Every structure is written in C-alpha cells, then in structure tokens.
C-alpha cells in the first residue's frame, strides 16, 4: 500500500486540537506568533491532504474561549492572523471545492472578523469536496450552555415539549448540528487532554495523542494516524464477538 493512499476503514470526520505552535517557535528562539503563522501554513497542507485520504469532514480548534487569558500581544496577533488567513485562503478553498464553516461564540469577536467569517461561509456554501469547520472562540461547555439556553427558550415559547427533550434533542441546538460526530480526535504536541473541545460530540470518538508539535505535523504523520485508526475496533458501548 502506498504511504499516502487512503487508509482502509479510515475516519470520515477528523477533529484536530492543533497544539504546540508557541513551543515550536520558542524552541527556535522566535516569538510565539511565529509559531502560529507556521501552524496556519500547516493547516493548508492537512486540508489539501484530506480528500485523497478519505476524510470528508475536518474540524480544527483554532482559538478557545480560554485563550483570551493569553497576553494581549498574542491575542491581538492571533486575531490579525485569522483575518489574513480568511482573506488569503478563501479563494483557494473555493478553487479546491472546500466548504468552510465556523463554530463558537462570535459575539466577542471583532465585527470585521465576523463579517469575514460570514463571507467565507457564503462564498464556499456550494463546495462539496471537503467540509472544513474552524472552531473560533469555541469551548465545549460554552457551546452546551448556549444550546441549552436556546432549547429552554423554545420550551418557554411553546415550540418544544419539555417531555420530548432527550439526548437526540440537544444536538440539534449545538453549533455542529449539521455535522456528523467526529470519528477521530487528534491532539498534537504530546499533551493528553481534550481541553474543552467537542465535549458532547466526541462521546464515542477515538483519540490519538501525538508527540509532534503542530507545525511539524506532516501529511505522512497524518496518514499514519489515520491508518492506525483503521486498525481499531469501534464498539460504541456494545460487546462484539
């Protein structure tokens, strides 16, 4: 089997916690934002690799609700990077037939960034080769809290019977309501925690914690991780065999 051929039984939806940009830069004597720029370039490589590897949905964790605690310099630099990234990449995503969506609470983001996000979603709404979801100002607990609030409002307005609320109801109110749950969640940089990412959606996801820092996460490493996933037996709580 060729190294970069589609893995047998590979995941349809992959979610990635792209960790290690700052440490990658500091190891080279550079500011943390240098690492974030390198990480953004790596996103393009992984996005391009997904269709040929059988991945239909890619969700990436770009900025969490907790990341506001970082220095003002880093936060401002990241927001500027997100704006430049959207402007620079959207035409390429249209060309490559990649549909872009954003999840997270947009209300805290600058209006110009919100407008770019809206424009990107509109520009790529017809694309079908890959579904790229970017989590920006996203937190799993925050998402569930916002979803629960919307659900409660529908109950209060009589649009939803409270007795009909079950575990199939809440996902309809989540940011990811139009997406399948991730089959595989990857975290780079050697950290072994999920950091408030897709808490509801990843209840039965497989996890892979990779030592590689995100800017060094190549297509070959990605392919190996997908191939490892294909060798796993997913039971979803049942006993097989």
- Please check if 24 is assigned to a binding site: yes
- Please check if 126 is assigned to a binding site: no
Nearest partner of 23 among 204, 178, 238, 214, judged by Cα: 214
- Please check if 36 is assigned to a binding site: yes
Active-site pick, 19, 131, 175, 183: 19
- Please check if 23 is assigned to a binding site: yes
Rounded distance, CA 27 to CA 45, Å? 22
- Please check if 20 is assigned to a binding site: yes
Active-site pick, 67, 142, 154, 224: 67
- Please check if 19 is assigned to a binding site: yes
* 67 flagged as catalytic: yes
Tell me the three-class secondary structure of the chain, residue by residue: CCCCCCCCCCCCEEEEECCCHHHHHHCCCCCHHHHHHHHHHHHHHHHHHCHHHCCCEEEEEEEECCHHHCCHHHHHHHHHHHHHHHHHHHHHHHHCCEEEEEECCHHHCCHHHHHHHHHHHHHCCCCCCEEEEEEEEECHHHHHHHHHHHHHHHHHCCCCCHHHCCCCCHHHHCCCCCCCCCCEEEECCCCCCCCCCCCCCCCCCEEEECCCCHHHCCHHHHHHHHHHHHCCCCCCCCCCC
- Please check if 30 is assigned to a binding site: no
- Please check if 214 is assigned to a binding site: no
Tokens for 171? 């996902």
- Please check if 48 is assigned to a binding site: no
- Please check if 64 is assigned to a binding site: yes
- Please check if 195 is assigned to a binding site: yes
- Please check if 39 is assigned to a binding site: no
* 19 flagged as catalytic: yes
Q: Which residues are catalytic?
A: 19, 67
- Binding-site residues for Mg(2+), please? 19, 206
Known binding-site residues equal 19-24, 32, 36, 64-66, 68, 70, 187, 193-195, 206
- Which residues define the annotated binding site for substrate? 20-24, 32, 36, 64-66, 68, 70, 187, 193-195
């Amino acid at each position: 089997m060729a190294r970069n051929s589609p893995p047998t039984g590979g995941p349809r939806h992959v979610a990635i916690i792209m960790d290690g940009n700052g440490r990658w830069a500091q190891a080279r004597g550079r500011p943390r934002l240098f690492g974030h720029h390198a990480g953004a370039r790596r996103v393009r490589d992984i996005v391009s690799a997904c269709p040929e590897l059988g991945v239909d949905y890619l969700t990436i964790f770009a900025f969490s609700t907790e990341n506001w605690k970082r220095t003002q310099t880093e936060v401002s630099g990241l927001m500027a990077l997100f704006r430049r990234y959207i402007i620079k990449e959207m035409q390429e995503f249209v060309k490559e037939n990649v549909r872009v969506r954003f999840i997270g609470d947009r209300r805290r983001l600058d209006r110009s960034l919100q407008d770019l996000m809206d424009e990107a979603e509109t520009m790529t709404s017809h694309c079908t080769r890959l579904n790229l979801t970017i989590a920006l100002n996203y937190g799993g607990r925050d998402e569930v809290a916002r979803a629960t609030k919307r659900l409660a409002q529908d109950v209060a307005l009589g649009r939803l019977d409270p007795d009909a609320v079950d575990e199939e109801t809440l996902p309809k109110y989540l940011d990811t309501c139009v997406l399948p749950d991730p089959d595989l969640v990857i975290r780079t940089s050697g950290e072994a925690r999920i950091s408030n990412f897709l808490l509801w959606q990843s209840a039965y996801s497989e996890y892979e914690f990779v030592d590689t820092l995100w800017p060094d996460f190549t297509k070959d490493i990605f392919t190996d991780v997908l191939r490892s996933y294909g060798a796993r037996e997913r039971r979803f709580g049942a006993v097989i065999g």
